[in-house]
Structure 1
Amino acid sequence: MPGIDIKDRRRRCVLPFEALPAEVRLLRRAAATQLGQWGVPAAGDATQLVVTELATNVIKHVGEGSPATLILEWQRERLRVEMHDKSSCLPAPRTADCEAECGRGLHMLAAMAVDWGTVVTALGKAVWCEIELGPDDVCLRMERAVDALENYRERSETALRGRHEAVLEESAVELIADLLHWTSAQGLDPDDVLDRAQMHYEAEAHIAA
């Protein structure tokens, strides 16, 4: 995805969209898909709620059809969600018993997030929050796999111009093939290495189930 920085293990996804009701569902799905590719699908439910609230606020208070951008940024134990729009008017929470709907979403945001805030940008404003990821949310094996596949993705994207999922799938095949070449060069039996890896995978999948 755009803006991924491998060195500090930070991953960044930028999703521009038009603030339309039909787009909110697609935006939620895109966010969930991205978290799955990063190996943190357990954070999907909370993230989708936050994305829905932030996108809906843009529709209500900035204007239906206005351009906006969702940014997801994952670094270790936290996932940062930012919603950028063209309005410089900062939202303010209303009191809990206020009849107006405006601002109620911010109370929900504050309750779900470990930290949140708003900031004026050069083009408007951004509302952001950070969701804390528990130790069960981040699978070390998945994190290592994503690191490796992103390196391969950068090499493969020039040849594969299809969906991002297709690029990652081809990258996985290339990575496994390279590892088999390496095991053979080390005097190891590639079939034996594959069998052992399959045994590890099946054992861990059984425990997870």
Structure 2
Amino acid sequence: MTQFTRNRSAGLLAMAGPASSTIEETPVPESSVNCARVSVTSEPVNVSLLRRLGDAALACWGLSHLQDAVQLLVSEMATNAIRHGGGNKLLFSLFYEKGEVRIEVDDRAPARLRVRHPRPDEESGRGLLLVDALSDRWGRRGTSTWCVLAATSKEHTG
């Protein structure tokens, strides 16, 4: 298990909990001020690992007030990638730079995203509605779905 982070983020995966054999090394872009990045297999069990990694990164960056919103965003984006993505791996990235937290999930599938409006009795289909409601902006670039939260916004603190 290897993590690549910058500044105060050392040891995030150790803080995130038990090691998983599905984690691979992934380089961090040099321009990132604070970054946590990991590649995992596209299995539902890894969604909780990604949430814990997000929690650990936010704690290191002094942004624990965003924990609830980031946990939900990570869960929805990773689950969507696992269900609808085209590969057997996900690349998860969490950045903190210039007062913003950016979450990216690359599922290696160049599909267009579609926000659904499910009926009240449908059990699924609300993920992107939640991403839209909780994030300041979001979208799709190539094979990555991303969203951004203002780190100073009290709107996302619950």
TM-score over 0.5 for the pair: yes
| CA shift digits 1:55-83 (9 cap, x unpaired) | 111221126x8201111111132101011
| CA shift digits 1:143-187 (9 cap, x unpaired) | xxxxxxxxxxxxxxxxxxxxxxxxxxxxxxxxxxxxxxxxxxxxx
Q: Which residue of 2 aligns with 1:78?
A: 100
Matched-pair contact (CA < 8 Å) for 1:16–1:70: yes
Q: Which amino acid letter does the alignment assign opposite residue 28 of structure 2?
A: G
Aligned partner of 1:59 among 64, 76, 82 = 82
Unaligned runs of 5+ in 1: 137-209
Q: Does the alignment pair 1:21 with 2:44?
A: yes
Query: Where does structure 1 differ by over 6 angstroms across 4 or more consecutive aligned residues?
Result: none
| CA shift digits 1:84-105 (9 cap, x unpaired) | 0111112211235484834x21
Q: Which residue of 1 aligns with 2:144?
A: 126
Number of residue equivalences: 128
Q: Does the alignment pair 1:3 with 2:28?
A: yes
Unaligned runs of 5+ in 2: 6-26
Moved more, 86-95 or 9-18: 9-18
Between Structure 1 and Structure 2, which shows a larger proportion of strand residues?
2
Taking the aligned partners of 2:110 and 2:71, their CA distance within structure 1 comes to 25
Deviation at 1:38, TM superposition (A): 1.6
The alpha-carbon distance between structure 1 residues 109 and 135, as it changes in their structure 2 partners (threshold 3 A), is closer
Q: Which residue of 1 aligns with 2:55?
A: 32
Higher relative contact order (CA 8 A, sep 6+): 2
Indicate the structure (1 or 2) with the bigger Cα radius of gyration. 1
RMSD (Å) for aligned C-alpha atoms: 2.4
Q: Which amino acid letter does the alignment assign opposite residue 150 of structure 2?
A: E
Q: Does the alignment pair 1:101 with 2:153?
A: no
Q: TM-score, normalised by structure 1?
A: 0.55
